[in-house]
């Protein structure tokens, strides 16, 4: 079922569901994300700096709470994606939500601040102010929004992961710094300057970062038992986190350009092998140049390897797209029927030849013909003393041996790097019988070439 994005999903007379990918849903999720980040930053600060408990923050908290309640209602009314299909069964949607995020979302939405005001408790003097931290449970469910970042087309998955990692590290550091202020962690003595919430927070964040990253300058050190215990815990978290972060960053960097790192690894293996087997320098250079060409023209990817895993229909579409150049270039393909083009495209195999390579050798038995995609080839006689022709993009060769089952009538040599498409004899024969127009063109070309060679 394909549901157009930007619409509600009608559900057999029931209240319509919201499409999970519709624009309003995405905007709403971004809004919830911003509110959650604001509350994650402000809630711990309200707990530590009592003077910050202003009306503005109370208003923010109320907006946050109302947002979270509305978000719960929306989640029960939004379709979910399963195997790229939108599930519209309300029972499944509810079950999934309750199983995953409902508990965290409901705790985050409880109006604690209202309870305090209603009960007349001075939030500043009671432990109740800690309840505001329950809002942070919303971080659990916004992970699903953050996961969506992976699906954004304009950002590489590796970069998205990097941004997420930095996001979580900053949040963790903020919470740890807040904890340090709460247990009244020591401050650097700066005479004559009255500490402000800003300077206290900045120092605590500085202490957190130096401890978490295991740098630990030692300029701010614990003094009481509680501070020592807190520092030990943060150091342990830091040690574990450090390994995790370094491992992740190494992995992310390696994945930023998978093609390049894979290709580089392949090149290193090849050059080690060439050196180990004492290959002549000139040969080594030719091989390196060949791989450079492969990198330049196709980023080292093997077309056939990628096509191999695709289902038949997709394979045809991809082949048609990849081979559109050759179809446009070869005159005999230009006006051919779509069935013929499809069949040809599915059976053409891309091959690359380096300068000076003999693609076809005079007198050998031929089992394939070639279409030139990019590059030039020279047609020569047996000992390369007579030059017959230069063929270029859009032309083909090797058809005589296939048509007449005779040995090759000439040697064909690559002039520079050549991107060719190879068509095997078996396919060639079966296509000839079914597509007489193609057979006529190829036969005409073969006849011309044979005449030029003085064979008819
Ligand atoms: P085949 O004999 O299979 O292998 C060598 C190919 O060179 C041959 O098919 C033709 O496609 C091509 N060829 C031979 N002679 C000429 C020529 N004079 N001009 C262009 N192409 C030629």
Q: pLDDT digit string (tens) for 233-264?
A: 999 999 988 888 888 888 877 777 777 888 88
What single DSSP character describes residue 214?
Answer: T
CA 396 / ligand 1 centre spacing (Å)? 9
CA dihedral (253, 254, 256, 257) positive or negative: positive
Find tokens 């140049």 and name the residue.
289
Closest listed residue to residue 378, CA positions, set 389, 386, 368, 366: 389
Kindly state whether residues 55 and 139 are assigned to the same domain.
Answer: yes
**Which CATH number is 444's domain given?**
2.60.120.10
How many whole angstroms from 7 Cα to the centroid of ligand 1?
61
* 362 and 411 together in one domain: yes
CA 89 to ligand 1 centroid distance, Å = 66
Kindly state the helix (H) or strand (E) to which residue 65 belongs, with its residue range: helix 55-76
User: Does the structure show a pLDDT above 70 at 7?
Assistant: no
Which one has a higher pLDDT value, 194 or 379? 379
Domain count, the chain: 3
- CB within 8 A of 222, min separation 6: which ones? 185, 186, 228, 230, 231
Percent of the chain whose pLDDT exceeds 70: 91
| Selected residue with higher pLDDT from 156 and 286 | 286
Shared-domain flag, residues 286 and 327: no
For ligand 1, atom 6, the nearest C-alpha belongs to: 398
Q: Are residues 91 and 12 in the same domain?
A: yes
Asked whether residue 192 is domain-assigned, the answer is: no
Q: What range does the domain containing 283 cover?
A: 258-301
Tell whether the torsion through CA atoms of 301, 304, 305 and 308 is positive or negative: positive
Is the distance from the beta carbon of residue 380 to the nearest atom of ligand 1 less than 6 Å? no
Of the chain, the end-to-end C-alpha distance in Å amounts to 62
**Does residue 12 carry a pLDDT above 70?**
no
Nearest CA to ligand 1 atom 8: 398
Q: Are 407 and 366 in contact (CB under 8 A)?
A: yes
Residues 150 and 4 in one domain: yes
Check whether residue 285 and residue 359 sit in a common domain.
no
Q: Which helix (H) or strand (E) holds 93?
A: helix 90-97
Mutate to test the pocket of ligand 1, among 361, 371, 379 (most ligand atoms within 8 A of CB): 379
3-state secondary structure of 421: strand
Q: What is the pTM of this model?
A: 0.63
Ligand 1 mutation target, pool 364, 366, 412, 455, most atoms within 8 A of CB: 412
Q: Which one of 131, 154, 177 terminates a domain?
A: 154
Q: 18-67, pLDDT tens digit by residue?
A: 888 888 888 999 999 999 999 999 889 888 887 766 677 778 888 999 99
What's the pLDDT at 235? Answer: 93
Q: Which residue puts its alpha carbon closest to atom 9 of ligand 1?
A: 398
Average pLDDT, the chain: 84
Find out whether 47 and 178 touch, Cβ atoms under 8 Å: yes
Q: Please choose from 332, 397, 450 the residue to mutate so as to test ligand 1's pocket, defined by most ligand atoms within 8 A of CB.
A: 397
Return the residue whose CA atom lies nearest to atom 15 of ligand 1: 449
Non-local CB neighbours of 28 within 8 Å, separated by 6+ positions: 71, 74
- How confident is the model over 407-429, as pLDDT tens digits? 999 999 999 899 899 999 888 88
Q: Count H helices, E strands: the chain?
A: 19, 12
Distance CA 247, CA 383 (A): 59
User: Do 366 and 293 belong together in one domain?
Assistant: no
> Is residue 32 domain-resident?
yes
Residue 127 has pLDDT above 70, yes or no: no
Residue 396 pairs in a beta bridge with 371
Structure tokens given for 95: 């079950």
pLDDT tens digits, 318-328? 888 887 777 77
Same domain as 7, residue 144: yes
Q: Are residues 285 and 142 in the same domain?
A: no
What does each C-alpha distance from 121 to 50, 114, 115, 133 come to in angstroms?
14, 10, 9, 17
Q: How far apart are CA 138 and CA 36, in angstroms?
A: 7
Both 27 and 122 in one domain: the answer is yes
Atom of ligand 1 nearest to the CA of 396: 11
CA of 303 to the centre of ligand 1 (A): 28
pLDDT at 259: 77
Do 37 and 122 belong to one domain? yes
- Domain assignment present for 251: no
């Amino acid at each position: 079922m394909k549901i157009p994005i930007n619409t509600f999903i009608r559900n057999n007379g029931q209240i319509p569901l919201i499409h999970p990918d519709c624009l309003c849903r995405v905007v709403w999720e971004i809004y919830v994300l911003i509110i959650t980040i604001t509350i994650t930053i402000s809630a711990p600060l309200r707990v530590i700096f009592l003077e910050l408990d202003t009306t503005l923050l109370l208003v923010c908290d109320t907006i946050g709470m109302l947002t979270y309640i509305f978000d719960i209602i929306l989640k029960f009314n939004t379709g979910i994606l399963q195997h790229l299909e939108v599930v519209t069964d309300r029972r499944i949607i509810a079950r999934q939500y309750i199983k995953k995020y409902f508990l965290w979302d409901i705790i985050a939405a409880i109006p604690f601040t209202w309870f305090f005001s209603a009960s007349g408790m001075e939030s500043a003097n009671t432990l109740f102010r800690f309840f505001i931290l329950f809002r942070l449970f919303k971080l659990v469910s916004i992970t699903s929004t953050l996961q969506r970042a992976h699906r954004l087309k304009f950002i590489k998955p590796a970069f998205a992961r990097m941004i997420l990692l930095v996001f979580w590290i900053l949040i963790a550091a903020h919470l740890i710094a807040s904890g340090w202020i709460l247990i009244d962690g020591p401050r650097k003595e700066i005479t004559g300057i009255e500490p402000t919430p800003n300077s206290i927070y900045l120092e605590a964040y500085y202490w957190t970062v130096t401890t978490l990253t295991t740098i630990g300058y030692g300029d701010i050190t614990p003094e009481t038992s509680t501070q020592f215990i807190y520092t030990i815990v943060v150091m342990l978290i830091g040690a574990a986190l450090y390994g995790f972060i370094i491992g992740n960053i190494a992995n992310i960097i390696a994945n930023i350009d998978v093609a390049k790192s894979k290709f580089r690894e392949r090149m290193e293996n090849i050059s080690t092998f060439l050196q180990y087997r004492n290959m002549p320098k000139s040969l080594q250079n030719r091989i390196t140049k060949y791989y450079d060409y492969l990198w330049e023209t196709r980023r080292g990817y093997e077309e056939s390897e990628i096509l191999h895993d695709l289902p038949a229909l997709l394979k045809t579409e991809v082949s048609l797209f990849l081979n559109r150049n050759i179809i446009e270039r070869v005159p005999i393909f230009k006006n051919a029927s779509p069935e013929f083009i499809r069949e040809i495209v599915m059976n053409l195999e891309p091959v690359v030849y380096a300068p000076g390579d003999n693609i076809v050798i005079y007198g050998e038995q031929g089992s394939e013909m070639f279409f030139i995609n990019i590059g030039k080839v020279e047609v020569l006689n047996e000992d390369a003393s007579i030059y017959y022709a230069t063929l270029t993009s859009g032309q083909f060769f090797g058809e005589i041996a296939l048509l007449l089952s005779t040995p090759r009538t000439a040697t064909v040599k690559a002039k520079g790097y050549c991107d060719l498409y190879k068509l095997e004899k078996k396919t060639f024969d079966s296509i000839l019988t079914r597509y007489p127009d193609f057979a006529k063109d190829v036969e005409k070309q073969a006849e011309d070439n044979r005449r030029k060679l003085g064979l008819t």
